[in-house]
Amino acid sequence: MRSTRRQSDSPPAASAKALRRTVLGVTLAMIASLVTAISGSAATASAAFNPAAFDFWVDSPAMGPIKTRVLRAADGNTNRVVYVLDGMRAREDLNGWEIETNVAETLASWNINVVMPVGGQSSFYADWNAPSSFFGIPPGTGSGNTGSGATDTLSGGPGKSYRYEWETFLNRDLRGALRDRLGFNPNRNGVFGLSTGGSAALTLAAYHPDQFSFAGSFSGYLNNSAPGMREAIRIGMIDAGGYNVDSMAPPWGPQWLHMDPFVFAPNLVANNTRLYIAAASGRPTANDGPNFGTVNGMALEALALVNTRAFQARMATLGGGNAAWSFPAFGIHAWNTWQDEANRMLPDLSANIG
């Protein structure tokens, strides 16, 4: 197994240690949920529009016109393609990777075509069961974009005025349009994302192996059915735009399990998908300022680390040798952490697509 280790990454073996991890996971889930609800995003930066990228609009039968930002490979090839997924607080103007980092430019310089879907706040890039609503009240009843997720719960907008259908869009509609209009290779693509986009990247690879030969997760929540996780996700989604997890997937039903990397890990092993899985320690770096956002990022990253370690143990029990693991000694749930991780991942990504 190839690995980019920053500290010991052998999976837990003793049952006592596993129990402690479960208890820790529940505790951190509650802490992270409360901190998220109070403080919001763990990282902020100024928008960085890249004029070399262009808007690529594709119709979704369920969601209407969806914008994707595309940055062409430096050498002009159409064979090497990677989808770059945003997190829970995805915006409607630009993908967070373009707003917060220079990762797209770096990928293009490695002769990789970069596909950055725009939008999908709190969506997990999933096909939802229904439009998001609460207590049977039709969406659009309340005001939107108030800055508080709790007061946006009754607003209209993406995923509320219509049903999110992101997995189908990425696998069918966008994939076909990139092939037909730009000549992009529809097979052996890469996909990676941060936080909820990390778990979504693994979902796409697990169920669409012909499309994705490589998947990366940074600070992902990869054990969604662990005790406390659904309620942690519930509170996080309310804060991130006022979305209802029950509209996304009923508890413990097929749709929910479809989204849980811990559950579908056997697919990734059977497909022999090349994986790059990372989570930092939650300890701040010198670039993480002394503020409440850093405290929030520390808690969220600690939760992601527990989830990722559980997923690592699951892969080990399945005999999966198709993953590289990265556990930096420092890093919180923030864009500087994810940009650094993307740069470490690049050689592996480049070698396993196209």
SS (H, E, C) 215-248: EEEECCCCCCCCCCHHHHHHHHHHHCCCCCHHHH
Cβ neighbour number for residue 186 with a 10 Å cutoff: 14
**Radius of gyration for the chain, computed over Cα atoms and rounded to the nearest angstrom:** 19
Whether residue 85 contacts residue 200, with contact meaning beta carbons closer than 8 Å, is answered with yes
Which residue type is seen at 205?
A
| Beta carbons of 214 and 238 less than 8 angstroms apart | no
Q: Which amino acid is at 30?
A: M
Of residues 122, 77, 112, 118, the one with CA closest to residue 97 = 118
DSSP state for residue 183 in the 8-state scheme: -
C-alpha to C-alpha distance for 18 and 11, rounded to whole angstroms: 10
Amino acid residing at 272: N
Both tokens of 40, joined, read 């919001």
For 242, phi and psi rounded to 5 degrees?
A: 75, 50
- DSSP H stretches of helix in 70-183: 96-100, 103-109, 166-168, 174-182
Which of the residues are catalytic? 195, 301, 333
Q: Is 259 helix (H, G, I), strand (E, B) or coil?
A: coil
- From residue 160, alpha-carbon distances to 132, 157, 309 in Å are 5, 5, 34
